[in-house]
Amino acid sequence: MWLSLNLAASLREDVYWTMTGAETRASRWPAASWSAYFALAVAGFRRHATYRQAMAAAIFTNTIFGFLRCAMLLAAAGANAGSVAGYDEARLVTFVWAGQGLIGVVLIWAPTELADRIRTGDVIADLLRPVDLVWQHLAADLGRAGLAVFTRLLGPIAVGSIFFTLFWPRRLLTYPLFVCSIALGTVVCFGCRYLVNAAAYWLLDARGPLTAWTLVSGLLGGLYFPLWFLPRAVALSLVMGTPFPSTIQLPLDILVERGSTAHQMALLCTQAGWAIAMLALCHWVQRLGERRLVAQGG
């Protein structure tokens, strides 16, 4: 219903192309055109722009947690001459407020839309469309994230800047790097959420994996404390070896200029690596899941 007319038009072209194409296979549709994905992204943006009250409630919640986390981290810094694990007070405060904003951009708390559709069998209708399911969801999610940058991210940062002295990046380059980092963080987080939802192909009820994700994403994403509070070797292996820090911790480290520009670039490359890995994994799991769906007669 939320697909725009524009999308419907480009989909029709693709269906036509597929029908007349030599290689028509029931389960492997060709990729839809860029315009279809763009329309999906716009639809994602517009869809979430209608949930204004839920958005206001979410920003309120993020703001309250911003105050609470600031109090804890500043208390920890206060006992250590104003600096802890390489973050001074301004950086800590910025870490908290931008972090609360990023929750809504990368969307840590996963909606169960896809899992529900798998459980009820509605996903069959999605698979019939001539659009790759992973790309389709990613496009809509990026549209949603685009809206969230202007609402969920800027909201808490604005509140934080009123009540605290925030750290503003000193290098001009940090700003574009931060924007890229948010985009990559969103893709990585999307990949994780997709995989968690796709567990429903096997479990039907994906609530268990969702719980595990909520737990791990918050902890290893850097929401409860900056990961560098952990022993350096542990933090480093988490950053390199798991996708979770790429969602929130790394964008925040880039924002508060932890280390040189080269260091920021290294963090960005880590994120890019995880983004590619997660998308590949999503496609692989989706293929396995489709076979599983057939086995269940869905």
Helix, strand, coil shares of the chain, percent, nearest 5, are 75, 0, 25
Q: How far apart are CA 160 and CA 165, in angstroms?
A: 8
Max CA pair span of the chain: 71
Stretch that binds other proteins, among 34-42, 62-70, 127-135, 167-175 (CB under 8 A): 62-70
Indicate whether 206 belongs to the interface with other proteins (CB under 8 A).
yes
Single out the residue of 157, 187, 186, 158 nearest to residue 255, CA to CA: 157
Cα 105 to Cα 98, 186, 268, distances in angstroms: 10, 7, 17
Tell the smallest beta-carbon distance from residue 86 to other proteins (Å).
10
Please select the residue that binds other proteins; options are 127, 203, 276, 281, rule is CB under 8 A: 203
Q: Is 51 in the site for other proteins (CB under 8 A)?
A: yes
Residues 21-50 that bind other proteins (CB under 8 A): none
Q: Binding to other proteins (CB under 8 A): which residues in 66-125?
A: 67-69, 71-72, 74-80, 84-85
Q: Considering the rule CB under 8 A, would residue 179 count as an interface residue with other proteins? A: no
CB 137, min distance to other proteins, A: 22
Contact between 219 and other proteins (CB under 8 A)?
yes
Instruction: State the minimum distance, in angstroms, from the CB of residue 230 to other proteins.
Output: 6
Q: In the set 212, 240, 269, 280, which binds other proteins (CB under 8 A)?
A: 212
214 touches 109 (CB < 8 A): yes
Half-sphere exposure for 139 (CA within 13 Å, toward CB): 21
Q: With CB under 8 A, what is the number of residues at the site for other proteins? A: 42
Distance (Å) of CA 191 to CA 102, 118, 202, 247: 16, 17, 18, 10
Quote the CA–CA distance of 105 and 102 in Å, as a whole number. Answer: 5
User: Judged by CB under 8 A, which of 2, 34, 60, 150 binds other proteins?
Assistant: 60
State how far the alpha carbon of 78 is from the alpha carbons of 137, 156, 227, in Å.
44, 23, 19
Interaction residues for other proteins, span 228-287 (CB under 8 A)? 229-231
What is the DSSP-derived secondary structure letter of residue 5?
H
- Using CB under 8 A as the criterion, which residues of the chain lie in contact with other proteins when the complex forms? 51, 53-55, 57-58, 60-61, 63-65, 67-69, 71-72, 74-80, 84-85, 203-209, 211-212, 215, 218-219, 224-225, 229-231
